[in-house]
Amino acid sequence: MGDATTLVDAIEGAMSRAESRSTPDMRVVRRSLNRECQAETVEALLAAAGEVIKRGKAPRWFVYELVHYHPGAVAGLNVRTLEQLGEGLDGWGETDPFGCYLSGPAWRERRIRDATVHKWAKSSDRWWRRVAAVSTVPLNCTARGGTGDPRRTFGVCELLAGDRDEMIVKALSWALRELSTKCPELVATYVDDNHQILPARVVREVRNKLNTGLKNPANGID
């Protein structure tokens, strides 16, 4: 392919190959496109990803996965490229793939500093605050390469503990529940020590996860 412009055309052209706009069908196309882009430079792919997002011709999750599964792409991420790729985030369906596929892995691999994620956690934009919480998931989720990082996870949780925005509350619960799979005693102590500050939903779901393995055992929801 060669350059960012050609890659943009290839990404947008691939969209027409999907049998439907359903996630499974789109993911088939994304996997094929990743194979085609294996030899492309990280710089060209990131530039193309940013342009495709600006044009709005592909779902953000599609673009974020395309970057994530390119060899060496995470190593090419930094604060500037992440914030460019995250510009205009609007909804959990965009923030969660961003946090799980881009910002979280970049943070885990120390391509961005704690201070950057803490800045997001203090943002007036609810979606960047959610990004901060979701970015802890790849630190702790085995399937996403995490081995457990209570220091960095609790650092973000402390900044968001008093936030009562529903989108942040749900993400905070997710962050602590994920860490509980690696460090259950530390999470139990953290929740006990902060139960008066943390949202009631977070306390309930995390304690449920610790005690039963499910966040909502009555409904069998993990």
Query: Over the stretch 76-105, which tens digit does the pLDDT of each residue have?
Result: 999 999 999 999 999 999 999 999 999 999
Would the pLDDT of 15 be above 90?
no
Is the confidence at residue 7, as pLDDT, over 90?
no
26 occurs within a structural domain: yes
DSSP 8-state code for residue 216? B
Q: What is the mean pLDDT of residues 156-170?
A: 98
| Residue 216 pLDDT | 85
* Distance separating alpha carbons of residues 115 and 107, to the nearest angstrom: 10
pLDDT at 220 over 80: no
What per-residue confidence (pLDDT) applies to 161?
98
When pLDDT is cut at 50, 70 and 90, the band that residue 18 belongs to is: confident
Residue among 76, 94, 85 nearest 134 (CA): 94
- Mean of per-residue pLDDT scores for the chain: 94
pLDDT of res. 219: 78
Q: By the 8 A CB rule, do 8 and 44 touch?
A: no
- Mean pLDDT throughout 167-185? 98
**pLDDT reading at 1 higher than 60:** no
Name, in order, each residue with C-beta under 8 angstroms of 84's C-beta and a sequence gap of 6 or more.
50
Please determine, for residue 153, whether its predicted confidence score (pLDDT) is greater than 80. Answer: yes
Q: Is pLDDT at 217 greater than 90 in this prediction?
A: no
**Residue 59 within a domain:** yes
Contact call for residues 18 and 25 (beta carbons, < 8 A) = yes
pLDDT surpassing 90 at residue 187 = yes
pLDDT at 2: 56
pLDDT at residue 20, as a whole number? 86
Is residue 11 a part of any domain in this protein?
Answer: yes
Q: Is the pLDDT of residue 106 over 70?
A: yes
Say if 142 falls within a structural domain: no
In a domain, 22, yes or no: yes
93 found inside a domain: no
Q: How confident is the model at residue 204 (pLDDT cuts 50, 70, 90)?
A: very high
- Average confidence (pLDDT) over 196-206: 97
Q: How many domains does the chain have?
A: 1
Q: Is residue 152 part of a domain?
A: no
pLDDT above 70 coverage of the chain, percent = 99
216 vs 179 pLDDT, higher one:
179
Q: Is residue 134 part of a domain?
A: no
Q: Check residue 191 and give its pLDDT.
A: 98
Q: Which residues contact 203 (CB under 8 A, 6 or more apart)?
A: 191, 195
Please state the pTM of the whole predicted model.
0.94
Parent domain of 13 = 1-72
